[in-house]
Amino acid sequence: MNAKQSLSSISENQDLWVAQYRQEIMERDYNSSMSAAKSEGIAIGEERGRSEAKLEAARNFLRENVPEEVIARCTGLPLDTVKQLSKN
């Protein structure tokens, strides 16, 4: 069936047209939701990666006996976090 015949068939049956329209909207909403969820997941993963990198840098600084205040300033971690790391 070519596109013109398909359109004619759908146009003749309003219920079919409405069902098709609703299906298309549901698919668009689903795709939009999935895209937003994917973007949010990527952002969360990137943030976790940055946090882990800061903690690893702080651990490395601590092994090199760099003062805790300097580590906090250089990594952007709270001083309490750096102190907790130094205890471990």
pLDDT digits (tens, 9 = 90+) for 5-48: 776 666 677 778 888 899 999 999 999 999 999 999 999 999 99
In the predicted model, is pLDDT for residue 78 greater than 80? yes
Distance, in Å, from the CA atom of 8 to the CA atom of 5, rounded to the nearest integer, reads 5
Q: Compute the C-alpha angle 52/56/58, nearest 5°.
A: 115
* C-alpha distance from residue 22 to each of 3, 43, 50, 64 (Å): 20, 31, 42, 63
Domain ranges of the chain: 3-87
- Considering only CA atoms, which of 85, 24, 64, 25 is closest in space to residue 72? 85
- Considering only CA atoms, which of 23, 32, 84 is closest in space to residue 58? 84
